[in-house]
Amino acid sequence: MRFLNIVALISLISLSACSSITDLKEDMSERLFGRESNETPSELNDIKTTAQVKVLWNAHLGDSLDADFTTLSDNGFVYAASANGEITKLSVADGKQIWRINSGEPLTGGVGLGGNLLLLGTAKGYVLAYDLSGKLLWKSKVSSQVLSSPKADYGVVVVRCGDSRIYGLNAVDGSRKWVYERATPALSLRSSAGVALEGGAAYAGFAGGKLIALRVEDGKVIWEVSVAQPKGTTEIERIADITSMPVVDGSLVYAVAYQGKVAAVDRASGRLAWSRDISSYTGLNAEDAKVYVTHANSAIYALDFSTGKTFWRQGDLKQRRISAPLPMGNLIALGDVEGYVHFLNREDGSFAARLQLENSAIMPQMLAVGSSIIIAQTRKGGIFAISIK
């Protein structure tokens, strides 16, 4: 109740300060989960270090502002972008810059890779496709700003817009092949959740707790399922949005909603396999028969992949606005709002190591390169390669 009261209070303030529902959505997301949160991160306790981690190299781009960027790796290189339009290609081995270009306009989504295309989205609703040498191949207009990384599969670039439309574009020239759209609640959270592509299907979560599967080829709906049902009497209490990317693992796809549930869905039938009352804004990951979820209050859960049963819970990082969990060998890596990367023991959730990259929040999604290197991007534009032994 205390949390809901805080939300209601913040929302009333927001309503008086914002000129539209769109402004309110963005203001709520920033105040509750973003850089302007009034929640004080918990103090960090001393830990016994049992794993060796160190920064291999670092590079810097421009700030991210209010966009969530992801780094991606391919064939020994890392690709990254920033809000001021910068895009760079770095060597995984030593961070050496291969090239750096500027798109010439503000970026809000990226980086995506697929079919030898480097894909990004802009604040004005354009999808940009470059080759891996940094040459612009095409530019395609969609309905609104692109807040997540475009993806490509089966010759189709799939991109999600801020208005929740999903487009399928021809990977050769950017021409439109299909568009999926649906009605959304009047009040929902601003989200950088994109789409997950696997086996010719695109999986995406929406406001109201809906998870859908689309055919990449033509955008037709394969199935739709409710991960969470809105509850409560006010619009604020009834927010139950899937604000992070679904995760595909084997025959199941996992999704989690804010003020809702984490759920496992059968990919073939769309049947709900199990669900648990766990709320998350930044998301989850799955590997080796376990699902790892970051709770909205920054607790971390390890769940059984087939039943949702809890193996362990780590609750000592409250209000540190933890990133999505990243499994790495025997460890789970998580970034926080003060630039720390925390490493948990995969078996019991105990702390194994910790390091601070810089005094800047780490993006919601970190990147695993092989089994021993993590790439993390900060909101100030830092790109860090971390070695794990």
- pLDDT per residue over 32-41, tens digit each? 444 445 678 9
pTM metric for this prediction: 0.88
Tens of pLDDT, residues 3-22: 433 344 344 333 333 434 44
Tens of pLDDT, residues 180-198: 998 776 655 666 788 999 9
- Which whole number is the average pLDDT over 287-301? 95
Query: Both 150 and 78 in a single domain?
Result: yes
Higher per-residue pLDDT: 313 or 258: 313
Domains in the chain: how many in total?
2
The answer to whether residue 290 sits within a structural domain is: no
What pLDDT score was predicted for residue 188? 56
The answer to whether residue 141 sits within a structural domain is: yes
376 and 341 in contact (C-beta within 8 Å)? yes
In the predicted model, is pLDDT for residue 92 greater than 70? Answer: yes
Query: Both 7 and 88 in a single domain?
Result: no
Query: What average pLDDT is seen over the chain?
Result: 88
What pLDDT score was predicted for residue 258? 86
Query: Both 30 and 83 in a single domain?
Result: no
Nearest 10 degrees: CA dihedral of 154, 364, 334, 249? -30
The answer to whether residue 219 sits within a structural domain is: no
Of 182-196, 221-235, 264-278, 283-297, where does mean pLDDT reach its minimum? Answer: 182-196
Domain boundary among 191, 221, 253: 191
The whole domain housing 145 covers 69-191
Query: Both 134 and 182 in a single domain?
Result: yes
Domain boundary among 169, 191, 213: 191
Residue % of the chain over a pLDDT of 70? 85
What pLDDT score was predicted for residue 190? 66
Query: Both 75 and 149 in a single domain?
Result: yes
Query: Both 10 and 106 in a single domain?
Result: no
